[in-house]
Amino acid sequence: MLIESARGRASRRQLRGTGANLGAMTEIPPACFAPRASGVDVVQIDDAVNPHAVLSRIKAAARIPGPVVVYVSGLLMFDRTDAAHLGLRDSTPRSVRYDGLPWEWLVNALRSRPHSHTLVIADFATDTQSWARLRDGAPVPLTNSLPVWGVINPPAKSADGTSPFTRALSAVLSRGVPRAPAEVHPSDIHRAVVERAGLAVDTVELVPHMPGLRLENVHPGAPPAALAASGATTAEPPTRILLQPSDPATYTGDLTRIRTASEAGDHAVAVLVAQELDSRLATTLGVDHPDSWAAREVHAWASAMAGRYLQACELYRDVARRRMRGLPHDHTTVVGPTDCAHAAWLRIPNGDDARRVGPSIVALRELVPGPGEALSAARRHLTRLRDDDPEVQMSRGPEAWSTYLGRQTRRPPSPTATPTTDPSNSAA
């Protein structure tokens, strides 16, 4: 579960979050947090407003029997009783007791879980008032009863971009730690993350000392160069087939299996082979390699053909984001995945899932507008999804709720688009 609330103030009343930290966390292969899991669900909450809504999501995650990682990024604030809160969008020092998320709520929601299957990662910003309380020795029981890993940053003039700890965490977990075991405890790699982050002098470091969730080291025994900073490549994409590495025969068989299984209607096999290829290339070549991007696009295509539109949407979105680091936003290999992410989003049957990923698709469309009125259409669709949110309509009163119910019974199904990307078509 990835939660990013406000890290800075947009106005005298309203806090804001940039979404950059969530973007960095989505770059980490989910398998890093659950090496033995057959599948991983990722839930994102950005621009959080209602503390009870956030708490309900945390409680739902806490009921999962397998490993659970909760990543929290935002403004750490204190109420007048010195109780710690995560400041949400409308929080102020005076109101945070009522409209912030009390840290105690999160602790209580996760307290009964086994420590070996639980990890909380916190990357907190602070305002001047909260930082003064920390420096004065105010008790901050963030690590009581929970394995918590992260930092509390001193006040900064700007909160734009990815914060140093999250940026370093994403790089280290994605590329691996040299000469470390295949599975590591956060305390084993904390120093590697901190040294790469270049944290401010007064930063408070939180390291879990109790036994907790072990993470996957994707490159155990890798040479020291594995942690060196590397920019995204700007090499031209393949022109004939999707994957053209130095040894094409290595992947041609996988592509043939994926295509054959999908055409035969055996979508479960196609998705499984595509997922394995995606994971293998990300591990062996790194997430910034063009072949890794292409393998993820194959994974997205297979998911779309299988009707797994939420998964396809998120994978296509990830491909577009990765390529945008080194290619122009109007490049065909950026526009194609963006169009497919948009199309898959329109096909997501669950309204809650569609509402959750919707803001990220609209944000992607703002960078890659696409043909015609694609950006305007995306914004209208997100507005319709939000208007169809029962919780929103109930909060608006009986009249809005009655109108909503009537609209639901009269509305015909709306036409949607289907992603048509083929794994042999590199332009898509």
Question: Does residue 404 carry a pLDDT above 80?
Answer: no
Lowest mean pLDDT among 122-131, 219-228, 266-275, 413-422: 219-228
> Per CATH, which fold does 2-216 belong to?
Rossmann fold (3.40.50)
Q: Does domain 249-403 have CATH number 1.25.40.10?
A: yes
- Portions of the chain given CATH number 3.40.50.1460: 2-216
pLDDT of res. 423:
47
- Portions of the chain given CATH number 1.25.40.10: 249-403
Taking the C-alpha atoms of residue 234 and residue 325, their distance in angstroms, rounded to an integer, is 9
Lowest mean pLDDT among 36-40, 230-234, 343-347, 358-362: 230-234
Looking at per-residue confidence, does 231 or 347 come out higher? 347
pLDDT of res. 237:
28
Place of tokens 């992947």: 251
pLDDT of res. 58:
92
Assign 118 a pLDDT band (cuts: 50, 70, 90).
very high
Average pLDDT, the chain: 77
pLDDT of res. 263:
83
Question: Does residue 392 carry a pLDDT above 80?
Answer: no
pLDDT of res. 395:
59
Taking the C-alpha atoms of residue 410 and residue 353, their distance in angstroms, rounded to an integer, is 23
Question: Does residue 36 carry a pLDDT above 60?
Answer: yes
- Is 0.85 topped by the overall pTM? no
Q: Give per-residue pLDDT as tens, 238-261.
A: 333 233 333 555 677 888 888 888
